[in-house]
Amino acid sequence: MKHGLDIAFFGSSLVSAYWNGAATYYRGIIRALAGRGHRVTFYEPDAYGRQQRRDITDPDWARVVVYEGAGEDGVVRALTEASSADLVIKASGVGVFDDLLEHAVVEMQRPGTLVAFWDVDAPATLDRIERNPEDPFRQLIPEYDLIFTYGGGDAVVNAYEALGARMCAPIYNALDPATHHRVDPDPRFEADLGFLGNRLPDREARVEEFFLRPAAAMPDRRFLLGGAGWEDKPAPANVNYAGHIFTRDHNAFNSTPRAILNINRESMARYGFSPPTRIFEAAGAGACLITDAWEGIEMFLEPGSEILVARDGDEVSEHIRSLTPERARAIGQAALLRLLAEHTYERRAEQVESLLDAKPMVFVEIA
């Protein structure tokens, strides 16, 4: 693509990862698009205490506009400003004004302006629509020029197309090597196995199986639990609760334990082809990853040599017992090399451009 676009992006938050698992994904995609000459304005609400818990300042690769999270005046002003963009994107899960934004963005569609829905939790969206055929978003799906999804593979694409989507394509998580990379180990995060993830209803049972049960079975090993919401969760004595881990500490968290555990939420494991940001963050830091089993893993990392796969807590325990420091380093290095070669956000930005090239619109020359 030889032209730069003015892109308006309505999402949960670019500057805060607090209760916002999409932050790393947004940052990687938008930074890569900016690096390719596109101008992105990210509109986010002042909601859920995120502005009070920012972990980055406004970046130089995107303009950030924060609007009020209570009352519609602020979001209406943001929509008015965004209406002149070449591409207007509504992400799922903004958390406030979602219905308003979904309808308003569709109404911006005109010659020279594309409108897209970017689903950062397609399994949850599709499950919700299946449960409620009257869901208002269902009728809007055919109106969007494009549907981008965080993952899900053919199952998600086929489901969206069955609902009338004009075009649906997964834009998977990836590695931003400028953000996620090896650092020196940090004594705060020393452990045989570390897991980082917020406490969510469709993850908790899987955390019990893949993390807490192995911890109980191996009282002589150290386990590290990071993320918000676990304060009152009963855990074995060998589990150290680290609380919310700010993004500035993610590299140290991933670089220190012998292995890092990935646990997909139940819905994402069921749909498959949905590698979370944690996999790319951890592999970028050279971590030896152990993941719960889900379809499509080998599209990103090769089981056995670039990532270890466990079908239950017993297999997690087996991996930990047999994992030497030398093998852990070898697996981590192999994963890092694979991601750098095939799965960076630069590659994802190229994919977005190719999909936009397939749509007729008026482009704006880069100044």
pLDDT tens digits, 68-107: 999 999 999 999 999 999 999 999 999 999 999 999 999 9
In 150-282, beta strands by DSSP E: 168-170, 193-196, 223-226, 239-243, 259-262
pLDDT tops 80 at residue 360: no
pLDDT 10s digits, 319-343: 999 999 999 999 999 999 999 999 9
Q: Give residues with Cβ within 8 angstroms of 306, minimum separation 6.
A: 331, 334, 335, 338
CATH number 3.30.210.10 is the correct assignment for the domain at 6-174+345-357: no
Q: What distance in Å separates the CA atoms of residue 103 and residue 203, rounded to the nearest whole number?
A: 31
pLDDT tops 90 at residue 267: no
pLDDT on residue 243: 94
pLDDT tops 70 at residue 30: yes
pLDDT tops 60 at residue 229: yes
* Lowest pLDDT segment from 5-9, 150-154, 220-224: 150-154
pLDDT 10s digits, 118-143: 999 999 999 999 999 999 999 999 99
pLDDT on residue 22: 94
More confident residue, 3 or 257: 257
> Which pTM does this prediction carry?
0.91
For residues 192-212, give the mean pLDDT: 95
pLDDT 10s digits, 272-296: 999 999 999 999 999 999 999 999 9
Cross-strand bridge partners of residue 224: 194, 240
Note the CATH number of domain 187-342.
3.40.50.2000
Mean pLDDT of the chain: 95
pLDDT 10s digits, 304-324: 999 999 999 999 999 999 999
Q: What share of the chain has pLDDT > 90, as a percent?
A: 92
Q: What distance in Å separates the CA atoms of residue 136 and residue 133, rounded to the nearest whole number?
A: 9
pLDDT on residue 62: 98
Q: What distance in Å separates the CA atoms of residue 273 and residue 154, rounded to the nearest whole number?
A: 8
Q: Give residues with Cβ within 8 angstroms of 361, minimum separation 6.
A: 86, 87, 111, 112, 113, 114
pLDDT tops 80 at residue 211: yes
CATH 3.40.50.2000 residue spans of the chain: 6-174+345-357, 187-342
pLDDT on residue 202: 87
For residues 40-46, give the mean pLDDT: 98
For residues 261-276, give the mean pLDDT: 92
For residues 28-33, give the mean pLDDT: 97
pLDDT tops 70 at residue 182: yes
For residues 210-227, give the mean pLDDT: 98
For residues 363-367, give the mean pLDDT: 41
pLDDT on residue 306: 98
pLDDT on residue 351: 97
pLDDT 10s digits, 150-179: 989 999 999 999 999 999 999 999 999 999
- Which tokens is 260 given? 């890092």
